[in-house]
Structure 1
């Protein structure tokens, strides 16, 4: 699907005819493009659109390179589906002096958010770098929102695990906690992966002034890129902190599970110890020897029962006094 935008004054407007006026667009977005759509964009802007296989290459030379006067930058960008599940996929930003072309095979919500925001606010987009930085800022804002949401969920999870009002949880409750911790780690890992590719991408833009002269990067634009780079690095620190918290919650949950298992084993051990003396007494008087003095006593049977009760109650009281139960 092709979605093209033009700059009207200080705002971004969507082209009504996406195919006939591509040459006027300042931003062309290709989402899961067909071969015909790729050919139309290539004919309009004079570049080769990278294939899906090219976008999935992880080498730096495959993610950042120059070709035919265009700068090709590939980053991992997160997307949220209808069920609020986080996915991640490569997005290639083809930066030309007068326009930006983006290629992706998933649906990042930050792209639509940037288009809507730029259509309602004064955001001068005069060239490809302006569109690139505006779009990257929207992507970084989305990552910040995800990290903030995960931070709140981790706080709730921490309170449920360590709160003073926490009741004894069943095994299913602890399994649910482990599942939520696994989801938090997955989201944090995807956000951190996206930030890692973005810091490399934006760092390249701010590294060498001479190498980007064809892109017409003004000093104000370079300052904007440096500010964005600082924001990305700050978010990476937040993601690292949350990763440590996720690991701590995982260790704590496993510790709680071990304590719960130890409590169960302790109960069985105490029960076995309490019933051991009565079992010994019953075993002794269950012997079939002819000469056992107590067998002829009138009160022998009540005495044996009493010994068994006393021998069971005394250990139980000792355990209660020692607060082992």
Structure 2
């Protein structure tokens, strides 16, 4: 699909026919383009549109390069971020003269919100470089929103871990299972956002170099520097969030270990408490002809009392030492 935009009264306006408005088009957005659509763009601008396989290459030289006078920049961007399992896919930005071409195979939310805003409000996006910076700013704002939401969710998980929990063992086990699943989902989200921010950080550095080569305006270069600082601060925040998630994972595993140790402790104490009564019962259960209490009238209650007392004394001792 080809989406083309022109500038109308300092606002972006979509047009249906690219070729009829080819002279006025400043931004072309290719969404899952077909071979014919790629050929149309290549013939129109005289550049090679990168394929999906080329966009997915991880070498820096394959993501940031200059070819035929156009600047190619690829970043990893998330989509479907309303869920905890975002779709991560590369997006290529091509700055060809005064035009911007974007190539993508998924739907990051910024590609929906930015054109709508630029169509309603005069944002100063009148050429390819200003549109690119405005789009990147919208992407960074979206990533910041994702990190803020993830941070609130992590705080909620932290409260669930350290606050008083159910006294029922089966309920606690289910709670810990849900906590581990939640922590895993947040770690995946934070890692995905951090990878996206790293790719944007490299893209911003490359764009800053391109701005000097293409003699962009002073205001545009200042916006690129601000964008770089914002991306760097968000990357630091994403790293902090990942470290906190790792701490919560260790804390959860520690709580599970404490639960298991408490259960084993109960069984160990129970075994020690019932060991003396078992010893008394075993003694009076021996089949010898001569046992002093065998014919004694109070032998049975005496043996029962010995067993009860031998169970109470260890229990009292453990409570006194604080082991129970």
Answer yes or no: is the 8 Å Cα contact 1:9–1:124 preserved in 2: no
Out of 196, 207, 211, the residue aligned to residue 205 of structure 1 is: 207
Equivalent-residue separation in structure 2 for 1:302 and 1:222 (angstroms): 96
Give the deviation of 1:150 after TM superposition.
0.5
Answer yes or no: is the 8 Å Cα contact 2:80–2:86 preserved in 1: yes
Q: Residues 97-116 of structure 1: matches in 2 within 5 Å?
A: 97-116=97-116
Aligned to 1:143: 143
Answer yes or no: is the 8 Å Cα contact 1:22–1:41 preserved in 2: no
SS at structure 1 position matched to 2:107: coil
The count of residues paired between Structure 1 and Structure 2 equals 321
Q: TM-score, normalised by structure 1?
A: 0.94
Answer yes or no: is the 8 Å Cα contact 2:81–2:146 preserved in 1: no
Equivalent-residue separation in structure 1 for 2:102 and 2:84 (angstroms): 24
Equivalent-residue separation in structure 2 for 1:111 and 1:8 (angstroms): 19
Aligned to 2:75: 75
Aligned to 1:290: 289
1:190 aligned onto 2:192: yes
Structure 1 runs not aligned, ≥5 long: none
- Higher mean alpha-carbon deviation, 191-200 vs 40-49, is at 40-49
Give the deviation of 1:18 after TM superposition.
4.7
Answer yes or no: is the 8 Å Cα contact 2:89–2:105 preserved in 1: yes
Answer yes or no: is the 8 Å Cα contact 1:57–1:63 preserved in 2: yes
Aligned to 1:243: 242
Aligned to 2:218: 219
Residues 115-174 of structure 1 show CA distances to partners (whole Å, capped at 9, x for unaligned) of: 1111111112222111111111011001000000001011111111112x4444511110
Residues 57-105 of structure 1 show CA distances to partners (whole Å, capped at 9, x for unaligned) of: 1111111111111000011011116756312110110111211111111
CA pair 84-283 structure 1, distance change in 2 beyond 3 A = closer
Give the deviation of 1:31 after TM superposition.
1.1
Answer yes or no: is the 8 Å Cα contact 1:79–1:109 preserved in 2: yes
Equivalent-residue separation in structure 2 for 1:3 and 1:205 (angstroms): 23
Aligned to 1:32: 32
Answer yes or no: is the 8 Å Cα contact 1:19–1:40 preserved in 2: no
Equivalent-residue separation in structure 1 for 2:103 and 2:93 (angstroms): 7
- Higher mean alpha-carbon deviation, 82-91 vs 303-312, is at 82-91
Q: TM-score, normalised by structure 2?
A: 0.95
1:154 aligned onto 2:170: no
Equivalent-residue separation in structure 2 for 1:81 and 1:228 (angstroms): 21
Q: Residues 297-316 of structure 1: matches in 2 within 5 Å?
A: 297-316=296-315
Equivalent-residue separation in structure 1 for 2:118 and 2:166 (angstroms): 50
Equivalent-residue separation in structure 2 for 1:290 and 1:250 (angstroms): 64
Runs of 4+ in 1 over 6 A off after TM superposition: none
CA pair 193-70 structure 1, distance change in 2 beyond 3 A = same
Equivalent-residue separation in structure 2 for 1:23 and 1:267 (angstroms): 81
Equivalent-residue separation in structure 2 for 1:117 and 1:224 (angstroms): 18
- Higher mean alpha-carbon deviation, 228-237 vs 2-11, is at 2-11
Give the deviation of 1:177 after TM superposition.
0.5
Give the deviation of 1:20 after TM superposition.
4.2
SS at structure 2 position matched to 1:291: coil
1:14 aligned onto 2:22: no
Aligned to 1:42: 42
Equivalent-residue separation in structure 2 for 1:259 and 1:117 (angstroms): 53
Give the deviation of 1:49 after TM superposition.
0.6
SS at structure 1 position matched to 2:293: helix
Answer yes or no: is the 8 Å Cα contact 2:78–2:192 preserved in 1: yes
